[in-house]
Amino acid sequence: MDCTVVNNVKAATRRGKEDKKVLRKQLKASHTLLKHEGISTASQPTKNLVVANGGLGNGVSREDLSASMKQFGDVESLFMPPQKPYAFVTYRSEDDARKAHTQLNGQKLLSGENSVTLYLSYVDSVKHKEEARVHFPEGLALVKDFVSPEEEALLLAAVDWSTSDQGLPEECLAVLHRCLQDGHINVLPDQLTVNQYETGQGIPPHVDTHSAFADTILSLSLGAKTVMEFRHPDGRVVPIVLPERSLLVMKGQSRYLWTHGITPRKFDLVPACETQSADHSEPDLGSHGDLTLSKRGTRTSFTFRKIRHEPCCCAFPSACDSQGGSSPSPPSQPSLPSCHANATRLEEEYVHRVYDAIASHFSSTRHTPWPRVCHFLSSLPPGSVLADVGCGNGKYLGVNPQLIPVGCDRSSALVQICTERGFNAFVSDALSVPLRTDSCDACISIAVIHHFSTQERRLAAVRELLRLLKPGGQALIYVWAYEQEYNKQRSKYLKDHNKPQNGEKSKDKLGESQEPHEEPSVLTASHLDNNHTGDLKDDSKMTEGKLSVHTNRTAFTSQDLLVPWHLKGRKTRVEEESSSGLHTTKSSDSKLSPSVDTSQVPGGSSVPVFHRYYHVFQQGELEQLCIEVTGVKVQTSYHDQGNWCVILQKE
């Protein structure tokens, strides 16, 4: 046979194999969309396509996806749901959709630093619910282009980063007089805080202390834009795009009642085109279908305030420290959930939101893998497929380079950290992991299952681990133990009870111990929102079904509780705000949030705190939970530095 013919046959065979591989992955993507998103694909060509892996959640920008789609015809519409790993495209003709379906399936798309493989399927129609636009919080105004590029350069050059205290720069006076003339303020501010946010930094939601400052607060954004979220005590969230050189004016309710914060991340979801109305009555992110990704740059904020010299008498006494209130807070401690809906709500507020807010700081304290987990990973045969369910910052994904690891976590911020470290990770709930049944040789779940708030949900988490395992595969599970003293040995968690308090120096390297709850030495975050502080009482008893707040470094007295995450190594609000003038904070480390001044606990408390929900396991409880799952064998169980641990095998 002619060599050319032979080569053509081989090439055709290779193409045939590649086409089959693409088809298999396309079908898998369709199945995943149906199972997890309820999206049904069509067997016959239509002019509508769903593009798996082509979503904002995969780091794909609207501009890059649109350019790729437009190669094959006129695109009528492109809908990219926020945080989702897929997009919908509608062509003007069915023929154009067919071309895209044929040419793009299985092809890689480069978008910024990301490379994704696209899988396209037909859908009968594109249906998406347009969320109603929400108005700015009462008393909030945003003025775009308030300063010119020349004024921006002068203001940035006026900051002396070598000192944390200096007089009010003269370059600010013209800006402040303009604010006065335009009616944004009635009196000139006498205090300025300058914060510099590197790419990936943020500041958790907070309310500036009522007793420290008067009503109006001005915030000038320089250098780069960002997205700030305002949160009302009733749960409403309003994201606001703060463009470069814009002025944010907070008065009344927006200043006293709503929290404001910036999520730490490297990309923001922003409108693909300017849609905000001229009168500033609508948020920038009102239309979810027209969003794209915007990479953050280095942003410097100038926050101007007027120091208050008398008690605050605002119209929001429940949130006012001068009137005996506190930051926006729930009327009482949360209760143990009585149904599935309550359980998901509790975990969303006291687990998911917390870890998203503190992700970069949490990660900085989680850098040393625990020895016995490393031993388990090192014992696995080379080439084993490992799933780390609840992988956090991915510290176990690189322990054994001979494995094929994949991680998932409920926190998108932690998954982003994994991705930046070069690990393969994705966002997923531990109760529904989008991996095939019987696909993994081993699974690990380290410090995850104790965050589920009901027995049914903890059992479901174990079942999901076993579903992923191949027959004969092993799973390692760690949960926090009720018994912090075992065999007459106190865990390091208890041994560290007398460690230095806030502001004191310590030689201890925090985050090195085996238990999953070592507190960081420096955190510049604040309360997550009104659901995490306020009327929570630091006691050891549960009353009327309420969750108690655990006293750190002490023995547990209840199994279901809220564990504080203390923010240490900073001055109190009173110390920071006792003088007027300029306060500067600059950090070159992307893991540290930029400033404590505007993120301290409202009300002058010296120790800002998050609260995380835990169910601590009693001896034998974890084993009993696991054997309720059909087809599982508990190979071994042990107590490891304040944690109960099991190794399971799928029979």
The dihedral over CA atoms of 347, 349, 351, 352, expressed in degrees to the nearest 10, equals 100
Q: What are phi and psi of 281, to 5 degrees?
A: -90, -10
User: At 501, which helix (H) or strand (E)?
Assistant: none
CA neighbor of 308 nearest in space, from 574, 518, 610, 529: 574
**pLDDT tens, 435-460?**
999 999 999 999 999 999 999 999 99
Name 566's bridge partners: 609
Q: Is 389 helix (H, G, I), strand (E, B) or coil?
A: strand
Which two structure tokens, joined as six digits, stand for 554? 């002490």
Dump strand ranges (E) for 491-549: 548-549
Q: What local confidence, expressed as pLDDT, does residue 600 receive?
A: 37
Residue 627 burial by CB count (10 A; 0-12/13-18/19+): exposed, middle or buried?
middle
∠ CA 246-247-248, nearest 5°, is 120
Predicted confidence at residue 597, as pLDDT, reads 31
Contact 263, 231 (CB under 8 A): no
- Cβ contact 435:406 at 8 Å: yes
pLDDT of residue 478: 97
Give φ, ψ of 450 to 5 degrees: -70, -5
Question: What letter would DSSP give residue 451?
Answer: G
CA distance 607 to 601: 7
pLDDT at 566: 60
Report percent pLDDT > 90 for the chain. Answer: 46
Q: Enumerate residue ranges in the chain where pLDDT < 50.
A: 1, 5-6, 9-10, 274-281, 283-284, 286-287, 326-331, 499-544, 567-580, 587-608
Of residues 407, 415, 369, 413, the one with CA closest to residue 388: 407
Alpha helices in 507-620 (DSSP H): 573-576
Over 167-230, what HEC string results? CCCCHHHHHHHHHHHCCCCCCCCCEEEEEEECCCCCEEEECCCCCCECCCEEEEEECCCEEEEE
Distance of CA 38 to the CA centre of its chain: 24
CA distances from 419 to 248, 397, 427, 493, 565 (A): 33, 11, 11, 30, 25
Q: How far apart (Å, rounded) are the C-alpha atoms in residues 527 and 508? A: 26
At 88 the pLDDT is 94
Tens of pLDDT along 229-288?
Answer: 998 887 788 999 999 999 999 999 999 999 898 887 888 888 876 444 434 445 445 445
pTM for this structure?
A: 0.54
d(CA 411, CA 353): 8
pLDDT, residue 570, reads 33
